[in-house]
Amino acid sequence: MLKKLFAQKDVSKEIVFLKFMHALAASDGMSEVEKNYMQRFMFKDGESKAKRIFLESEKQRGVNHDFEGFIRDAKALSNENQIELLNELIELSKADNIISNEEATFIMIVSEALAFNVDQVMSKLQEHGLDINGHSAYLRNNFQSEQNNHDREVGFLAAKRRYESARSEVSSKYCSECGTEVIEAIYCSNCGEKIDA
């Protein structure tokens, strides 16, 4: 009953975009640059529209926060808006000057779910700085053992648990400039400083 009360048939394009943008930014730890990018996205059509988007997003809190729900909402968008969503995700991923492996994987999964040409999307990410060899190694190391396991958990929470598990096995470094924890990165996602090897 409550689910029916809070569920909406038509979720605005902006809310769908913000859900995806937030999930993308959180995939590798949200930076201030990414937060600012999302705020600019909300305010690009003025303060009153930003207020409406915020209020609508508060109503949507807890609704369709699983991957299948996200994709259902995105598939309900027009083809033009799906392309715009994908472009916004790519812009957000490069906003902090680093396209992480997690961000690239997220965009790749969304592209495939929306029936876009994943190879073309990956080429575009590579044009914007994705280390394609590093990403291929990341996929091999993190997902190869799961390819034959059809019983593995799915969804963002399961992916988060797998990510945290894999992260605990990797030694952390800290940015000498701002002190942000950095894992398997060349540049700090917070300040952009090059990380010493």
Q: What is the pLDDT of residues 95-134, one digit of tens each?
A: 988 889 899 999 999 999 999 998 899 999 989 888 888 8
Reported pTM:
0.64
CA-to-CA distance for 142 and 134, rounded, in angstroms? 12
Contact assessment for residue 192 and residue 96, using Cβ atoms and an 8 Å cutoff: yes
85 belongs to a structural domain: yes
Q: Return all residues near 174 (Cβ < 8 A) that are at least 6 apart.
A: 180, 181, 182
46 belongs to a structural domain: yes
CA-to-CA distance for 148 and 96, rounded, in angstroms? 35
Q: For 30-78, what is each residue's pLDDT tens digit?
A: 888 888 888 888 777 777 766 666 666 656 555 445 778 788 889 999 9
Query: What is the domain-level CATH number for residue 75?
Result: 1.10.3680.10
Q: For 26-42, what is each residue's pLDDT tens digit?
A: 888 888 888 888 888 87
Paired residues of 174 in beta bridges: 181
106 belongs to a structural domain: yes
Q: For 128-173, what is each residue's pLDDT tens digit?
A: 888 888 888 888 787 755 445 444 455 555 565 655 665 555 455 6
37 belongs to a structural domain: yes
Give the domain range for residue 72.
9-170
Residue that is written with structure tokens 């969503």 in the block:
85
In the three-class reduction of DSSP (H, G, I as helix; E, B as strand; rest coil), residue 119 is classed as helix
CA-to-CA distance for 140 and 146, rounded, in angstroms? 10
- Domain count of the chain? 1
177 belongs to a structural domain: no
